[in-house]
Amino acid sequence: MNLANYLTLLRIFSIPFLVTVLLTEFPNKEIWGIGLFLAASVTDVLDGYIARRRRQVTTMGILMDPLADKLLVTSAFIILVQLHLVPAWMVVIIIGREFAVTGLRNLASSEGLIIRASALGKTKMVFQVVAVCLILAGARFGGIWLLLGKISLWLVLVIAVSSMVHYFFVFWRKIDAHRKKRIRLKRKLFQRRQNRVIREARSEPSVE
């Protein structure tokens, strides 16, 4: 465990506080919700920066970081549905994308492969953070904030679907390359065995 990993865990542990604030009669809950969600989201930037800066990039961090993002964003959008601030069908697509990508990562990991977070995935995270904050601001202040929240939510949906397609493409490309590599390795081993058998056959004395 290092500092970057602790920040990732902090992002996960912030979720119960976010749920408590937004789903109770907490005073000024939208404002507090925005603050908590932004603070948790900032750790996503910090943990990656610290890990690269200190050369502490670990397999645990690579796997935990996107998981923490998914848990945070999924919780936030479910809360927004519960508060009747966003359509449930849009959130189903967004969350479904998260489960699909997580499944791909796990499947790739079982094959000894790691699918790193793409630039498109990071862009999606930024837009999700902005969307959640704007939607909460719209619930609190109304007006232009409501319109901005709706626009940002549609952008999140488009980016989520696009990034999912990208991850599927990367996954199949890696799996195909991995499969071809194994086939080449098997062919080499088979060829070596054949060559060894031929050499042994030639080295045996002939019987007259």
- The yes-or-no verdict on residue 9 having pLDDT over 60 is yes
- The yes-or-no verdict on residue 145 having pLDDT over 70 is yes
Q: What is the pLDDT of residue 130?
A: 94
Separation in Å, CA 156 to CA 120, 124, 129, 182: 11, 6, 9, 38
Question: For residue 129, which of 58, 39, 21 has the smallest C-alpha distance?
Answer: 39
Please state, in angstroms and rounded to a whole number, the distance separating the CA atoms of residues 28 and 30.
6
Please state, in angstroms and rounded to a whole number, the distance separating the CA atoms of residues 124 and 126.
5
Set out the domains of the chain in order of their start, with CATH numbers: 3-177 (1.20.120.1760)
Cα 26 to chain centroid, rounded: 31
Q: Whole-prediction pTM value?
A: 0.75
Average pLDDT over residues 173-187: 73
